[in-house]
Structure formats: structure tokens, C-alpha cells
Amino acid sequence: MKKLMLAVFAMSVVFGFGVGNASAQMMSGDGNPMVGGAAMYKNKDIIDNAVNSKDHTTLVAAVKAADLVETLKGKGPFTARQITEIAEAFAYAHELGMATILWCYLRNNKFKTDEGDMHTAADLTGQANHLGVTIQADIIKQKLPERNGGYNSLNLAGNPTYGKTNKLVYEKLTTDNPIDLVRYQVANCYMGRCGLINSGGESKGESDLADAVRTAVINKRGGGTGLISGRKAFQRPFKEGVDLLNAIQEVYLSKKITVA
């Protein structure tokens, strides 16, 4: 029962349909959770575990750049416990035939730079998506990207080792078109193997219906799988909220709106 409660809490949202038994892939021979192809040892902190995983070199570089090594190697509360428990919760949820949805929002005051708020940068949100699917979230919820170049901005802000990137990422792999930016997020969800749903954002009043439809079209054309809309729908009269949700549904049901 304790594990079941943890699974529901960590995932925030679960659906009761079969997704296959992934628990065998999530545990090493000695019972430790597998993340990024490497065992996450319960007797090691998050730093030592991340160093052993080839999929977390960017995470390690970011932690060092932010001078968080000593903090995360401390006794708490920032230890390997959190990511280990979430990985275990997801594995247990899969064992029960449940799907897992993970909110992968960014939270860092340093992401607000002179070039803009990088909390919605495609490259940084894409990395968050990758971490989410690595611990086997089935669906990722992410903010709609509004810009790119988050790594470049943070590196120029005095953190040259924040993360490795290449100019070809921005010159060849993406453009500033919002559909391309969503496509970059989808690519970081194992090329769309794990679904990406974008959030509808806060309610802004009269423009909510148009904003919701625009976000849904961008998400669908970029290869995403859906849109979550809460405040835009529920913070208004019942009929208006229903009409907004129906408009979003029509985007995903339409055969004329396809992947770009």
C-alpha cells in the first residue's frame, strides 16, 4: 500500500490501462533501479550515481556549474532518494498496468536571462523531457516552447560548463518556427516513442480560446500527442469552458491538421 501511494503521488496522474511489464528493465540484478542504462545504487548519492550513467553527463556538468555538488552529496534533503523513489514508483505502476505522466517543468531563477526567460527554451525543456523518459515516464507534460538557445544563453552568462551543445543544433536541426521547437521537444522524448503533451498555460481572458487552439495545432503539427488545459477552461462560465475544450478536441480529431 505504501508503494502504491508513492506511485500515485509521484506520477500526479495515472491511467488504468496496460503498458507492458517494464519492471524487469528498471531493476538491476541486485535490485537497484536502472536509469539511463546504469544502476542507481541506494547507498550512493545522486552525484555518484549520475557520474556512472553515460546518459547524465549534461546533468553532472550542470550541477558542477551551479556549484551544487556539495549540496547534493549531503545527507539531505537533496540526495538520490527522490529520483530513486520516482523510478521505483514508475516501475511499480507499470507492474500494475498503469501509465505514468510526469510534469517536467524547469525551475531555476538563473534561467531568466537578458535574452529572455529560458524556462520555455526548446533545448532546456528538451533535456528535461529526456530525463523524464529515461526514468520511464510514458507521457511527458511540458510547457510550449517559445524560444531556443537556452544552453547558449546560460553559457554566455558566466557558466561555460553548464552544458554541451553545438551550433549545428540551432542551424540545422531546428528553426525558430514554433512547430519546429515542439518537434525538438518530441525528439527528446525518444523521437516521440513517449508522448508529449503541452500545457495550455494560464488564463489571459478573451484570447484563451484562440490561444488554446493555436497551442493544440502547434503541438499536433510538431508530433505531440495532446494538450492539457485546466485554468483556461475551468476559470470561466461552464458553457465557455466546454466550448474551449471541444475546440481543442476538434483540432486532434481533424484529419486536415497533420504532422508538418
Q: Which residue numbers are catalytic? A: 141
Q: Which of 102, 157, 147 lies closest to 123 in space, CA to CA?
A: 147
- Residue corresponding to grid cell 536571462: 113
Q: 3-state DSSP: the chain helix, strand, coil percent, rounded to 5? A: 50, 10, 40
CB atoms closer than 10 angstroms to residue 169: 17
Helix ranges, the chain (H)? 2-11, 23-26, 46-51, 57-65, 69-72, 81-95, 122-134, 150-156, 167-168, 178-187, 208-221, 231-234, 238-253
What does the block give as the cell for 146?
Answer: 517559445
